[in-house]
Structure 1
Amino acid sequence: MLRTLEIRDMLIIDRLELEFQPGLNVLTGETGAGKSILLDSLGFVLGWRGRAELVRAGADKGEVTAQFDLPAGHAAWAVLDEAGFEHDGEMILRRTNYPDGRKQAYINDRRASGELLRVLSETLVELHGQHDDRGILNPKAHRDMLDSFAGLDLGKLGTRWQALTAARRELKRAEKAMDEIRAEEEFLRHAVAELDVLDPQPGQEAELDVKRRQMQAGERIRDDIAKALQALGMNGAEGLVNDATRWLDGVADQAEGQLDDALSALERTVNELSDAQQVVETVLERLHFDPMELEQIEEQLFALRGLARKHDVLADDLAEFAEGLRIRLAALDGGEVELADLRRAVASASEAYQEEADRVTKARQAAAAKLDKAMGAELAPLKMERAVFRTDVTPETAGPEGQDDVSFTVATNPGAPSGPLNKIASGGELSRFLLALKVCLSGTTEGVTMIFDEIDRGVGGATADAVGRRLKALADGAQVLVVTHSPQVAALGGHHWRVEKQVRDEQTFSTVIPLDPAARIDEIARMVSGDTVTDAAKDAARSLLKV
């Protein structure tokens, strides 16, 4: 709840400190005394958009500080945690306004943005009045209000929506991938067929190039090698050495050992010639090839390099490239199976979501009927027994919070057309509609300070008393601040302040005075009779206060 509100140099307030209490807090005073300034100041520290110029004339700056007492687990702590603010169970908001329009905000003495204050304020304060566009009169909030009234937990629905969204996203991705593959199907099939015929392998280009160069070189040197082999053979060097050996061996005995060394050398020569001949024969055999084979190798090498250029990859990478194309083809060939599976997954997720969404719709419809009945019971004591309040639950585009749009409509008289609250009801009627609705919804908001700005406007007598009693009931176990001109409402307050103007040194100031029991009698008597407070008015005040 709101514990204290300190205001410095705002409009016609110079220094003001208020300590609010649990229960029903009422603020009264003559028109123009400054009650609206209090709300403007509170709205300012909460980050609400309001008047542009709030600094008191002649002051260097205006400042408002609000202290809240909040229980553990209050929604405001989660907002601070998400924003990265540390806290120890204390909530102090401070905001400063300068004459040039600059504003500075602080949460527990740490700089904060006005937007964070606004988000935080939604967990701290509710403002209800004829010009309230933040709460009950905001159609965007009606569904949340009905869900809170119904005690609906939308966690399961949100989870199923996420599952459906994910399934749809995966199907869309697969369909897009399939469309892309289909667009290049002809290319893929042609390219894979072409690569399968060639069957490229890593290192194949180098191997073919070596073979080709060897064959091309063999053509040039084979004839000379063949001639050398012939020169080394029996018709050449080997034959001549054998002849020389035979001739020398025939006369060796007659030479008395002088030819032995020569014969040994010739023997070694024969062996060396044999070795040389074998090597030359081996080389010559290797150089033997089919001219058609050379042509085939050249064609294969040309095709290999041509495909490498065509696909802009290295020849050694063609095998890996071909495998990638085969995988894409396999995805195409098996894609329909995957798409069928994904479509079944979407259908299953859609069915699960629809089942939960239908359950939520039925719960909302049941809650709407219950709320309408409760509103009928609340409107009767407020002298609006002929008015009709209806909660419309209509179809809407499905989403994480369901498939329903919720709006509160009213008809002030039987047979009259119904419409939005703020379009159909008059000022006094609107106030009572808002109060009745808030009473019905009071159990849905915990730990929030509720502020009613002249919600009793346009009513009096027994109706005003009924308004006051409902405000008092609403304040039971909570905190309600009421700005009122109704003595019946003021008399039911647990705590009472009077807002009044004072003139000091030819300057007008607004101040707020807490009232003791005697002062309350005088104030309520003023509200009953006007400027002249009579004894009869005081008796009426005592009667209202039951003192």
Structure 2
Amino acid sequence: MLTALSIRDVVLIEALDLDFGTGLGALTGETGAGKSILLDSLGLALGARADSGLVRNGAAQAVVTASFDLPDDHGASELLAENGLAAEPGEPLVIRRIVKADGGSRATVNDQAASASLLKELAPYLVEIHGQHDDRGLLNARGHRALLDAFGRIDTGDAGNAWRAWRDAEQRLADAHAELESAARDREWLEHAVAELTALGAEPGEEEELSAARADMQKGARLAEDLTAISDHLEGSDGGAAQLRQAARRLDRIAGEHPLLADALEALDRAVIEASEAEERLAGARDALSFDPQRLEDTETRLFELRAMARKHRVEPDALPGLAAELAERLGRIEAGGAGITRLEAERAGARAAYDAATAALSQARTAAAARLDAAVAGELPPLKLDAARFRTTVEPLPESQWNATGRDRVEFEISTNPGAPFAPLIKIASGGELSRFILALKVALAEEGGATTMVFDEIDRGVGGAVASAIGERLARLATRAQLLVVTHSPQVAARADAHWLIAKSHDGLVTRTGVTALDAAERREEIARMLSGAAVTDEARAQAARLLEAA
């Protein structure tokens, strides 16, 4: 709810700080005292157009600060969080709007910069202002379906689930048709590609194995001559290894003749061992690097085939087996496509039937709720001097292109103000006073389902008095048990119903005219209601009547 409103240098208001509480608050004062300035100031905080003409003459800027106390689960919380403007738990929501005399404005939400468009988004969650020229809230037909659903406690969850299932089924079918059409156009190419990939029979990792084998065989071909020459030096009866063994045997016969000969024999034995190992290693290398020219040719042929196929399909050689499976699957879907389409069409039809059933139930529930709402509003109209008026809630089917997760109904509130007159939207045929009273009747009937936490009614009692004014006051008081209400009124019957009362008055000091707002105590309140009853000269009878009104409230 709105807890405080601070105004600086707005038109005739120099400095004003107001604190608000729960229940019904009345703002009264003589015509021209500046009640509209107060509402214009609140409108600024809620994103209304910033007009430099609102800045008080001689001031550099006008500043309006509105504070709201909101529960944690309030509808505005998500919007604030999305924009990084959420207040700390337990802290108020503070909106400040500054308008400069030379043009331009800026706004903050919880001391952080915010746009006027964001304030306009926040406004419906915070305050509803119903006045002579209101074109929002209950007058906006786009919100009527949600209001009717809230009134009738209608759950749209089943319809929403059915809608999403139907949309998903439609999308799957469309995707299948598109894939089938695309695949059918490529069928000849697919058949050829699958055939040649199948004939190639590529295996995972095959390209790497072939490449390594080819490299080894090419290396063997390059080293073959050197390996043969080295073998000739080492092997055979005249090879180096044989010569070492012969020398070792001959030295062995004489090694005992001198210590140095024994040392030489040991060294020669080691050389013989090393030479034998070298022979073995050389033989192993020769075997490993040996190649069959035909095998090398076959290996290269296979390797080049794999690489050529990979280039053709713009994939890596190792991806060829997977590509073959993928293309074969696509080809298979073409051949089995008809059956798949039939299955998806059946799923779509089932999802559509489920949506039809869910929305038919919604339409029935809305029609029943509309009848109850019409009866509730009809009961509120006669006491508000709208005896000749009729109210109805139309529930009509929307074209299929406008169906959605909340159903397929168009809902709109309509009235006929005179017998025999056709029904039409509220805003088109209701006069200013009728409009405010219709809104009040609707608000009471709807029991404030889904509304803002604060409502402002601007001169809802214009042009009425007596019993009608009393009926308005009674309904405002009843509505104020569910939400915070502020009413700008000229009716003593309405003012007497208020839980709090402020007097808006204009003062002059010979040079400057100012508008001020004063919170009235019990005695001041009786005096103001007496003034409203009698006019400029307040009589004792008016004071007594004011006291009776206050006691009756």
> How many residue pairs get matched?
470
Q: Of 163, 166, 170, which aligns to 1:164?
A: 166
Determine the structure 2 residue equivalent to 1:91. Answer: 92
Q: Of 162, 169, 179, which aligns to 1:177?
A: 179
Deviation string 1:132-169 (CA, Å, 9 cap, x unpaired) is 22201111111111111111232332233222222222
| CA positional deviation for 1:543 | 3.7
2:8 is paired with a residue of what secondary structure? strand
Determine the structure 2 residue equivalent to 1:366. Answer: 368
Q: Note the 1:74-473 alignment, pairs <5 A.
A: 74-84=74-84, 85-95=86-96, 96-193=98-195, 321-396=323-398, 397-445=402-450, 448-473=453-478
| Further displaced range: 398-407 or 174-183 | 174-183
The CA distance in 1 between the partners of 2:341 and 2:80, in whole Å, is 45
1:89 is paired with a residue of what secondary structure? coil
| CA positional deviation for 1:364 | 0.9
- Aligned 8 A contact 1:91 1:107 in 2: no
The CA distance in 1 between the partners of 2:469 and 2:311, in whole Å, is 92
- Aligned 8 A contact 1:158 1:400 in 2: yes
The CA distance in 1 between the partners of 2:421 and 2:411, in whole Å, is 21
1:133/1:52 Cα in 2 relative to 1: closer, same or farther (>3 Å)?
farther
| Further displaced range: 332-341 or 15-24 | 332-341
1:40/1:317 Cα in 2 relative to 1: closer, same or farther (>3 Å)?
closer
The CA distance in 2 between the partners of 1:203 and 1:27, in whole Å, is 89
Determine the structure 1 residue equivalent to 2:25. Answer: 25
The CA distance in 2 between the partners of 1:149 and 1:507, in whole Å, is 51
- Aligned 8 A contact 2:147 2:450 in 1: no
The CA distance in 2 between the partners of 1:301 and 1:475, in whole Å, is 87
Question: Could you tell me which amino acid in structure 2 is paired with residue 63 of structure 1?
Answer: V
The CA distance in 2 between the partners of 1:306 and 1:110, in whole Å, is 63
Max Rg structure: 1
1:15/1:306 Cα in 2 relative to 1: closer, same or farther (>3 Å)?
closer
Question: Could you tell me which amino acid in structure 1 is paired with residue 92 of structure 2?
Answer: M
Question: Could you tell me which amino acid in structure 2 is paired with residue 179 of structure 1?
Answer: E
| CA positional deviation for 1:374 | 0.5
The CA distance in 1 between the partners of 2:476 and 2:406, in whole Å, is 32
1:105 is paired with a residue of what secondary structure? strand
- Aligned 8 A contact 1:12 1:56 in 2: yes
Deviation string 1:10-65 (CA, Å, 9 cap, x unpaired) is 12111101112221111111222111111111121122346454222222222112
| Further displaced range: 494-503 or 364-373 | 494-503
1:517/1:195 Cα in 2 relative to 1: closer, same or farther (>3 Å)?
closer
TM-score using structure 2 length: 0.76
| CA positional deviation for 1:402 | 0.9
1:331 is paired with a residue of what secondary structure? helix
Question: Could you tell me which amino acid in structure 2 is paired with residue 381 of structure 1?
Answer: P
1:503/1:193 Cα in 2 relative to 1: closer, same or farther (>3 Å)?
same
1:25 is paired with a residue of what secondary structure? strand
2:384 is paired with a residue of what secondary structure? coil
| CA positional deviation for 1:501 | 1.1
- Aligned 8 A contact 1:6 1:16 in 2: yes
- Aligned 8 A contact 1:10 1:54 in 2: yes
Question: Could you tell me which amino acid in structure 2 is paired with residue 46 of structure 1?
Answer: L
Deviation string 1:242-295 (CA, Å, 9 cap, x unpaired) is xxxxxxxxxxxxxxxxxxxxxxxxxxxxxxxxxxxxxxxxxxxx999xxxxx9x
The CA distance in 2 between the partners of 1:77 and 1:313, in whole Å, is 52
The CA distance in 2 between the partners of 1:315 and 1:89, in whole Å, is 64
| CA positional deviation for 1:523 | 2.2
Question: Could you tell me which amino acid in structure 1 is paired with residue 27 of structure 2?
Answer: L
| Further displaced range: 329-338 or 504-513 | 329-338
1:101 is paired with a residue of what secondary structure? coil
The CA distance in 2 between the partners of 1:94 and 1:314, in whole Å, is 61
1:500 is paired with a residue of what secondary structure? strand
The CA distance in 1 between the partners of 2:340 and 2:169, in whole Å, is 13
- Aligned 8 A contact 2:133 2:432 in 1: no
TM-score using structure 1 length: 0.76
Gaps of 5+ in 1: 211-285, 289-293
Gaps of 5+ in 2: 215-291
2:434 is paired with a residue of what secondary structure? helix
2:90 is paired with a residue of what secondary structure? coil
Determine the structure 2 residue equivalent to 1:492. Answer: 497
The CA distance in 2 between the partners of 1:315 and 1:477, in whole Å, is 73
| CA positional deviation for 1:404 | 0.7
Determine the structure 2 residue equivalent to 1:266. Answer: none
The CA distance in 2 between the partners of 1:476 and 1:305, in whole Å, is 82
| Further displaced range: 530-539 or 372-381 | 530-539
1:189/1:93 Cα in 2 relative to 1: closer, same or farther (>3 Å)?
same
The CA distance in 2 between the partners of 1:537 and 1:314, in whole Å, is 99
1:287/1:181 Cα in 2 relative to 1: closer, same or farther (>3 Å)?
closer
The CA distance in 1 between the partners of 2:432 and 2:513, in whole Å, is 31
- Aligned 8 A contact 1:93 1:105 in 2: no
Determine the structure 1 residue equivalent to 2:549. Answer: 544
1:27/1:182 Cα in 2 relative to 1: closer, same or farther (>3 Å)?
same
The CA distance in 2 between the partners of 1:429 and 1:313, in whole Å, is 75
| Further displaced range: 475-484 or 92-101 | 92-101
| CA positional deviation for 1:438 | 0.9
Deviation string 1:355-412 (CA, Å, 9 cap, x unpaired) is 2212221111111000000011111211222211000011113101111111000011
1:189/1:467 Cα in 2 relative to 1: closer, same or farther (>3 Å)?
same
- Aligned 8 A contact 1:4 1:18 in 2: yes
1:370/1:184 Cα in 2 relative to 1: closer, same or farther (>3 Å)?
same
The CA distance in 2 between the partners of 1:68 and 1:198, in whole Å, is 75
- Aligned 8 A contact 2:148 2:369 in 1: yes
Question: Could you tell me which amino acid in structure 2 is paired with residue 181 of structure 1?
Answer: A
Deviation string 1:218-254 (CA, Å, 9 cap, x unpaired) is xxxxxxxxxxxxxxxxxxxxxxxxxxxxxxxxxxxxx
| CA positional deviation for 1:197 | 6.0
| CA positional deviation for 1:75 | 2.6
The CA distance in 1 between the partners of 2:66 and 2:160, in whole Å, is 36
| CA positional deviation for 1:124 | 1.8
| CA positional deviation for 1:460 | 1.9
The CA distance in 2 between the partners of 1:318 and 1:72, in whole Å, is 58
| CA positional deviation for 1:122 | 2.0
The CA distance in 1 between the partners of 2:50 and 2:101, in whole Å, is 15
1:518/1:310 Cα in 2 relative to 1: closer, same or farther (>3 Å)?
closer
Q: Percent identity?
A: 48
Determine the structure 1 residue equivalent to 2:277. Answer: none
